[in-house]
Amino acid sequence: MERFAFKMKLKPGFAKEYKKRHDEIWPELKKLISEAGIYDYSIFLDEETDTLFAVQKVSGEGSSQDLGKTEIVKKWWSYMSDIMDANPDKSPVSVPLKEVFYMD
């Protein structure tokens, strides 16, 4: 098991919409994430900076960041790109975070 953390940037004023879209996450996307061995996946919002912090555990190879070749993830990226900072391919701008402390 490995843990991955990364940050993303939400556009100002879209916190409620971001939460709504994730509360209604598509079942096929949730299934893909689970089948990839990703679990205990949380996203936190710093409301002062609109920065999103994601943490996930992975029992397989890679992380959710490696699922971008699938059509459902590309569709999700497109769906989310209007409320987040996004790359030209509509993937969210994502910055890996270095772990500096962990307590089990």
Write the class of the CATH domain 2-96.
alpha beta
Q: Residue 48: is its pLDDT beyond 90?
A: yes
**Among residues of the chain, what percentage have pLDDT more than 90?**
88
For the question of residue 15 being annotated catalytic, the response is no
95-96 and 51-58 strand pairing: unpaired
Q: Residue 60: is its pLDDT beyond 80?
A: no
Distances (CA, A) of 84 to 29, 50, 72: 18, 10, 18
pLDDT digits (tens, 9 = 90+) for 67-86: 989 999 999 999 999 999 99
pTM: predicted TM-score of the whole model, two decimal places = 0.90
Classify the phi-psi angles of 68: left when phi > 0, otherwise alpha if psi is within -120 to 50, otherwise beta: alpha
Catalytic residue, chosen from 20, 22, 30, 31, is 22
